[in-house]
Structure 1
Amino acid sequence: MRTSSVARFVHCSGRAPPASDSYGPWSDTVCRIFGTIAATATRRELDAVSARQRHGGPDAHRVITGRGWSLGAGRLAVTDPAGGAQPYRLDTAPGIAVVLNGEIYNHRDLRRRLAGRGHVFPDSCDGSVLPALYAEHGADFARHLEGMFAVAVIDLRATPRLVLATDDYGMKSVYLHTTRAGGVYFASELSALLAFSRVPAGIRPEALDELLSTKVCLGSRTALRGIRSLPPGTTAVADADGTGLRLRRRRPAAPSPAPGGLRPALRREVRRLARADVPVCALTSGGLDSGLVTALAAERARERGERLHSFHLTYRGTWPAAEDAFARSVAARSGTVHHTVRLDPADFAELLPRTVWHLGQPNADPITLSTYALFRAVRQEGFTVALTGDGADELFAGYARVGAALRAPAGDGWVQPYIDSLAAVPAPLRRVLYTPEYRAFLAERGSVTDRMADRLRGAGEDRLDVIGGFETSQRMPAYHLRRLDHLSMAWAVETRMPFLQPSVGAFARTLPGWARTGKKALRGAAGELLPPEVLARPKQPFTLPVTHMLAPGRPLMELARMMLAPERMRAGGRLDPLRVTGLLDRQGRTPSAEAAMAIWTLLVNELWEQEIRALRPAPLRPAPVERPRVPVGVPA
């Protein structure tokens, strides 16, 4: 089945999923969406777009088109696998077609309400309610949804109209390009969007500085010119007459906190999100957040006479800060069937290019490689839905940098240290690595850190609210949620995040600052559910021991030397070849965390730029760049 589905689409895009990745037989799960309004697209282009994000929608695909518009989806069937054909259309909502990437958790309540309005539904799929919901509420339909979603509607009842909507946290991405004539192209993945020939693929030169300064392009900007992502909690409307895209941020829903406190609220959300028509598991890092979700999901499984499966990723050999003992302790306390996935560091040089390709744009956190490998194991074991603890740090101020900023004296002296803590590469080292020309370019344009500082200083007096707003609206969607969405869907796995549900967020907003900071409320909610050693341990990111992986003779270091060779650095014009070589040599002599993180970030960026050039030749400079042959994520 895998071979035939991949082969059917290779001719469209010229690029297929990595040949050595074993995709296995598909079970049922979420989707990838794409389309156009007031813009030209050939059927071949639409097939190519579908092909490039086929890994996230393997069960079915369909495209519908009309004069000046198109709408398509590839389905990963989680709810009612036998039903739910996309695009969704209903006899009781004529002229409306909808595609959905995500899950609507309150679809049963919506179906009952809409049935009372006379709508008839052919199946119990969550997305089937969307045409009726749009027919009743128009562009305000998304205010009634609870879940993670990117939705696209084509309304043909008058002049064709495209309506796009994202959930309040931005758990599902949609990338956009708007033409000068007011047309719109969109897709769930950036590489898929580039299959439209009229979508540009020029790299923004300042994106390299943004990556080194904040580990990712924050907010809705991407690393490519003319391409952005739709912000969280946003509804966008465009008409076929070319009047352009109008964006409106929806006011977040403000449900009353569920009675009983945090644990009952989280228990209800875990139980709601654990409902699926396909196998569900939990990801267990060994920390507080994922441990609490695992314990509550295991509790539900026991009541149903089942045992929850939990997954933890570690590395072969002995490495510092390993967490597998804590994860096993959580699993033992919760009674799960525990899977310890042991990744061989010798495979990192092969896995990293694939990880970078699936991300769509660079993310400097080494956790990306671990995440990609973990979801591969989850899929290979037959699971389609995974519950995670993501979002807790943002809602309950769990990051050390947030605590440090809150403890700082009155005034705005906290701002610069907070910004510095976000960097992949410290500012002094960035300045050393950049060429004089690139430093001058950034000085003229203004740096991303200067813009962030101005924004944070002018955002308000309540420091916790200011930082929390930045973490949830700017950093979390771009840094965490895109990574989770893209790397889980690379393996056709849907991630569900109980912390990022309305009742939990509403509860967090009612807490006084002292109870939110450091996740004190979460520790109280965990109580006897987790082992004492897990409750007492300090926060530790689930990440890769990159300092020890980038050592002489290791495959990852050899890949770095190849990709960061002087001729490549000279061709880009932004990095000083001698300084980069010196950084590599220093790491070879005396490994350090700072040098390793800088090398990792530069390596990720160079791999990503190679993939972009392979997708669509668009050199940064007029002269062609000769590139050495290296393993890439998706061979041409």
Structure 2
Amino acid sequence: MCGIAGFVNRDNKPVDPAVLARMTTTLAHRGPDGEGFLVEGPVALGHRRLSIIDLAGGSQPMANEDESVWVTYNGEIYNEPELRKSLQARGHIFRSQSDTECLVHLYEEHGADFAQFLNGMFALALWDKKRNRLVLARDRMGQKPLIYAQTASGGLVFGSEAKALLEHPEISRRLDLPGLARYLFYEYIPAPYSIWSGLRKLPPAHVLVWEGGEARVSRYWTAPASLEESESPPFDVAADQFWTDFRSAVARHRRSDVPLGVFLSGGIDSSSVAAALAELEPAQGIHTFSIGFADPSFDESAHARLVARHLGTNHHERTFAVEAVQELLPDVAGWLDEPFGDASILPTHLLSRFARSEVTVALGGDGADELLAGYPTFVAERAADLFRRLPRAARALAGAAVGRLPVNHGNISLDFRLKQFLRGAAESAPLAHQRWLGSYSGEEIQRLLIAGETIDVEAEHLLRASGLVPSADPLTRSLALYQDTYLPDDILAKVDRASMACGLEVRAPFLDALLVDSMQTLPPRFKYGRNQTKRLLKKAASGRLPATILERPKKGFGIPVAHWLRGPLAGLLGSLLNRSRLERQGLFNPREVERRISEHAAGVRDHRKPLWTLLMFQLWYDRWHGS
């Protein structure tokens, strides 16, 4: 895992190496083990290295035999041994054991189509000296970030994080107001958009080719269609085959020349990763990591401990007071260069820091929920379909009854779940899911924002959803939307930023390319059927994990945000969102913000999500735009 940055000028204008040095330095946290540069004519490639494979010989940027193709790259290529063997058979000469080197040779064979042959997590920039061509590529599911911008002079600037691009003299630091509206709607900004005017995120499974001042972006992979049950093996057979494929994915993901461990939350996803790894190597040598909290309603460490004892792993556990999470807020605002409203980034960073004290690489369970239908929102989608069939009077009566429930600020309390459900229950599925996940509806954003240049975020969201898999069944359409937005730009972005801030590489075996292709073809009822989410995974893991783990309801990596905003963070909330400050800032309606703060403080309404989303924006704004 590393950080990359660079730029190319049009018309062979020489680059300024000092600019590249500044850009690359901003990414030192991603690569604390070294740096490297290529400055040659119109191109500048920079690299910060976190050494994982071939510690002595894997320095970047790296070139092919005649130095006509160069690459700077962040990630891991899991099918590198197979690629190396086939490329050597075609006459390519390797000078290192690093997985990086296969990229330049694969490009020599296939040109800009090379990315489709990669099984890995990656973001890369490749310079073709003979063609004066720069190629950017990002992995299929979006595990590694890649930001770019076209300059007014016809060049292109790129980097792992926006902060690197902001060091380039042609890149503006202007706030993108449509990006702000998207942030309020999603709690993050989905690719290809950004909070920075002029900056774009290369979407997952896409390549960008820059030549002669022009950039072309294209998709190189599309998920295969799901099969009908009549075309698929029986469910039990499919579950057995899934575990075999999953164990192979874990085997590919464990390749490392540095210590490796497993994030273990006690949920079925991370527990399955640990169980599969324990079938590949002695369990007592596997380091598993979990954290707990003094507040029992947010503490899941007992479940992780149960799995670790069941498997016999070398388990590491630490309990934190909630104050330790609160103290992270200034740090998070410092290393996030885009506002991010998912509060679980705080405990994710604590877990990453804890694991980094023992290992350099960790395996996690990310991706299973979005590929195998693990979220309770998929259950809610079925319930909403029934709700919409009720007479209007019955729906109104239900809404009134739920509205009278007393506010409970506990972790995913009953009244919170019911009120969130009703926010989206009457809407079409794509909009319902986002209402359940997000902080603000389109109408609420219109009331909140007073700045111009905004957009209809809900119409944009519906248009995006309609273009994914329009002819598929309802569950597959919903899963595709999660895989297009929530997975890459919330879940994977969170893990990348939280882990790379302390120099830890986190890998996701569920997102292995071969395994993803296999999971995508599964019949929908194998994923969510018989009123059971992640049905196939639970069947495959039965007998390998304790029954209580398989039967546990989904529970996120939560922290007591609702309580904090009424207690220890109330002062910070008030200072960042007071009327005089908001009036000077000119973005938000002070009356609308004051209403939410006062209702939440009085316990009349639970505004934890919208207020946290605003708080995180203001912390980001202070860091990057000044108070």
TM-score, length-normalised on structure 1? 0.85
Would the alpha carbon gap of residues 429 and 308 (structure 1) be closer, same or farther in structure 2, given more than 3 Å must change?
Answer: same
2:134 match: secondary structure: strand
* 8 Å contact from structure 2 (residues 8, 15) kept in 1: no
Instruction: Say if 2:167 is the partner of 1:195.
Output: yes
3-state SS in 1 of match to 2:373? coil
**C-alpha separation in 1, matches of 2:333 and 2:511:** 26
- Measured against aligned partners, the alpha-carbon deviations of 1:436-459 in whole angstroms (never above 9, x if no partner) come to x44xx47xx542112212443565
Change (3 A) 1:129 1:416: closer
Quote the residue 1:61 is aligned against.
35
After superposition, what is the alpha-carbon deviation per residue over 1:291-311, rounded to whole angstroms, capped at 9, x for unaligned? 1112212332317xx521111
| 1:430, distance to aligned residue in structure 2 (A) | 4.6
Distance in 2, matches of 1:165 and 1:427, equals 33
Percent identity of equivalent pairs: 32
Indicate the residue corresponding to 1:419 in structure 2. 434
Corresponding position of 1:117:
90
Give the Cα–Cα distance (whole angstroms) in 1 for the partners of residues 159 and 463 of structure 2: 32
Q: Quote the offset at 1:313 in angstroms.
A: 2.1
Once the two structures are overlaid, the 10-residue window that deviates more, 262-271 or 321-330, is 321-330
Q: For 1:185 and 1:426, how far apart are their aligned partners in 2?
A: 34
Which one of the candidate residues 527, 541, 558 is aligned to 1:526? 541
> What is the count of residue pairs matched by the alignment?
569
1:33 correspondence with 2:4: yes
The answer to whether the aligner puts 1:226 opposite 2:198 as a matched pair is: yes
**Deviation digits for residues 82-129 of structure 1, max 9, x if unmatched?**
1111111132x5311111100011111111111112222122111122
**Structure 2 counterpart of 1:597, from 609, 612, 621:** 609
Change (3 A) 1:284 1:45: same
AA paired with 1:97?
Answer: W
- Aligned-pair distance for 1:506? 2.2
**Alignment match, 1:588:** 601
- 2:14 is equivalent to residue 43 of structure 1: no
Q: Which residue of 2 aligns with 1:79?
A: 53
Counterparts in 2 of 1:341 and 1:501: CA distance versus 1, 3 Å: same
- Return closer, same or farther for 1:120/1:223 CA change in 2, 3 Å cut-off: same
1:538 paired with 2:553, answer yes
- The question of whether the paired residues in 2 share the 8 Å contact of 1:32 and 1:53 is answered with yes
Q: Secondary structure at the match of 2:113?
A: helix
Partner of 1:466: 477
Whether the aligned pair in 2 keeps the contact of 1:406 and 1:464 (CA below 8 Å) is no
Find out whether 1:608 has 2:604 as its counterpart. no
Change (3 A) 1:190 1:591: farther
Secondary structure at the aligned position of 1:169 is classed as: coil
* Aligned pairs for 1:412-451 within 5 A: 413-425=428-440, 430=445, 434=448, 437-438=450-451, 441=452, 445-451=454-460
1:480 aligns with 2:491: yes
The 1:455–1:55 alpha-carbon spacing in structure 2 relative to 1, beyond 3 Å, is closer
Cα distance between partner residues in 1 of 2:595 and 2:18: 47
State the alpha-carbon separation in 1 of the partners of residues 544 and 107 from structure 2: 42
- Checking the alignment, whether the CA contact within 8 Å between 2:298 and 2:558 is kept in structure 1 is no
The question of 1:385 aligning with 2:356 is answered: no
CA contact (8 A) 2:259 2:359 kept: yes
**More displaced, 283-292 or 294-303?**
294-303
Pairwise CA distance, 1:290:
0.9
Identify the match of residue 589 of structure 2 among 570, 573, 576. 576
Q: Post-superposition shift, 1:474?
A: 2.4
Aligned match of 2:102: 129
Which stretch of structure 1 is more off in the superposition, 164-173 or 252-261? Answer: 252-261
SS of 2:168's equivalent in the other structure is coil
Distance 1:547 1:298 in 2: 38
Alignment of 1:336-355 (within 5 A): 336-355=313-332
Would you say 1:312 and 2:284 are equivalent positions? no
Corresponding position of 1:631: none
1:302 paired residue number: 282
1:276 aligns with 2:256: yes
CA distance in 1, matches of 2:171, 2:599: 41
Whether 2:177 is the aligned partner of 1:168: answer: no
Structure 2 letter corresponding to 1:608: W
- Structure 2 residue 332 is matched with structure 1 residue 323: no
Q: Distance in 1 between matches of 2:465 and 2:2?
A: 36
The equivalent position to 1:508 in structure 2, one of 501, 510, 519, is 519
**Match among 248, 262, 283 for residue 218 of structure 2:** 248
Distance 2:324 2:572 in 1: 12
Report how far residue 498 of structure 1 moved.
0.5
Paired amino acid for 1:245: A
Question: Separation in 1 of the partners of 2:136 and 2:465?
Answer: 29
Contact 2:267/2:549 (<8 A) preserved = yes
